[in-house]
Structure 1
Amino acid sequence: MSRILATASAIACTLAAFASPAQARESLGLYGTWGAFRDPLVPRCYAIAMAEPSAKRRDYQPFVAVGTWPKRSARNQVHFRLSRKMAEGTKITLRIGSQRIELTGGGGDAWPRDNGDNAAIIAAMRSAPRMTVYARGEVRGGFSNTWQLAGAASAMDAAAIGCAQLR
């Protein structure tokens, strides 16, 4: 129970940096280390999880979010906030299951390069146990962030259902 409360607290802290004012968000549920939320003012819904803890240097609190924006007809859009500011022009690679997918991004953020890669990531997240993003930091070379995926499919489904009637 204390791990669930710690996870919920950590997700809430991450959301403070990611989402609009706290009073606008509605919790749709916690699923393992993943949370699902709805923000009807935007409107949007998203599943979100923090990366595994690390004692290594961090510039940012790393998280991954899978968002849906009904008014934009955008569904299941993947966004990674990485732990470090990346070197300019760095290669960003996601390893998920047996797949390696190149991402695009800059600063501390990364995304799939196109809709096909986004769909492949979403599909792989439903069956892989974990995923790791590798990049080169602006300072001190390579780094990685890892996310456990237990609960990811349920959180993504809850977010999709939560936005089904928001237009």
Structure 2
Amino acid sequence: MTRWPIALFGPALAALSLAGPAAARDSLGMFASWAAFRDPGVPRCYAIARPLPSSRPADYRAFASVGTWPRRQVRGQVHFRLSRKLAAEPRISLVVGDRRFALTGGGGDAWALDKGMDAAIVAAMRAAGQMSISATDARNRRFTDRYDLTGAATAMDAASVGCARR
């Protein structure tokens, strides 16, 4: 399964941080702690959120996203930018409600193992109120990024509809 690089999601973080407008991206709405965007130039659409605030140090600006690339026939692909640089063998674990998933990843990113796992994670996200992703960082310490899932289902729906209109 092809995974798309972090650069695809970087501009959405700027829009979420309100640091300035994300050029060539259409906001499809804010839904509690989640937002949805469409990038008609690619085209792609995605739901995205930041983790809950934390006082611990971070290497990266973390986020969770669910993306769709209609031309590539990719739908509902889950991607996490973690708050810390990962160890060589990071043991990445996602908990969504009462479901657990072992993810793959490297650097500061994590993904589902395949399309089936993407679908299971998205289904769990729609039913749960929170999720957390834990991994081992480059200093061999465990860390966890936590997310509120309020608005996630609506943001994912907005992203899907946004790309269906193309």
Fold equivalence (TM over 0.5)? yes
Corresponding residue SS for 1:105 = strand
Instruction: Give the 3-state SS of the residue equivalent to 1:22 in structure 2.
Output: coil
SS where residue 154 of structure 1 aligns?
helix
Query: Separation in 1 of the partners of 2:14 and 2:132?
Result: 19
Q: TM-score, normalised by structure 2?
A: 0.88
Indicate if the aligned counterparts of 1:14 and 1:61 stay in contact, CA closer than 8 A: no
CA distance in 1, matches of 2:99, 2:76: 19
Paired residues, number? 153
Q: Which amino acid aligns with 1:123?
A: A
Output the TM-score relative to the length of structure 1.
Answer: 0.87
Percent identity for Structure 1 against Structure 2: 55
Conserved? CA contact 1:11–1:35, under 8 Å: no
Aligned counterpart for 1:12 among listed residues 12, 15, 18: 15
Measure how far apart 1:38 and its partner are.
Answer: 0.5
In structure 1, list runs of 5 or more residues that go unmatched.
Answer: 1-9
Q: After superposition, give the CA deviation of every residue in 1:99-133 in whole Å (9 maximum; x if it has no partner).
A: 11000000100000111111110000001010000
Using a 3 Å threshold, how does the CA distance of structure 1 residues 14 and 116 change in structure 2: closer, same or farther?
A: farther
1:54 alignment counterpart: 54
SS of 1:61's equivalent in the other structure is coil
Name structure 2 gaps, 5 residues minimum: 1-12
Q: Cα–Cα, structure 1 residues 41 and 31, in superposed 2: closer, same or farther, change >3 Å?
A: same
- 1:61-100 residue pairs with structure 2 within 5 A? 61-100=61-100
Q: CA deviation at 1:22?
A: 2.1
- Say if 1:124 and 1:47 are closer, same or farther in 2 by CA, change over 3 A: same
Task: Report the CA distance shift for 1:125/1:150 in structure 2 as closer, same or farther (over 3 A).
Answer: same
Distance 1:34 1:13, change over 3 A: closer
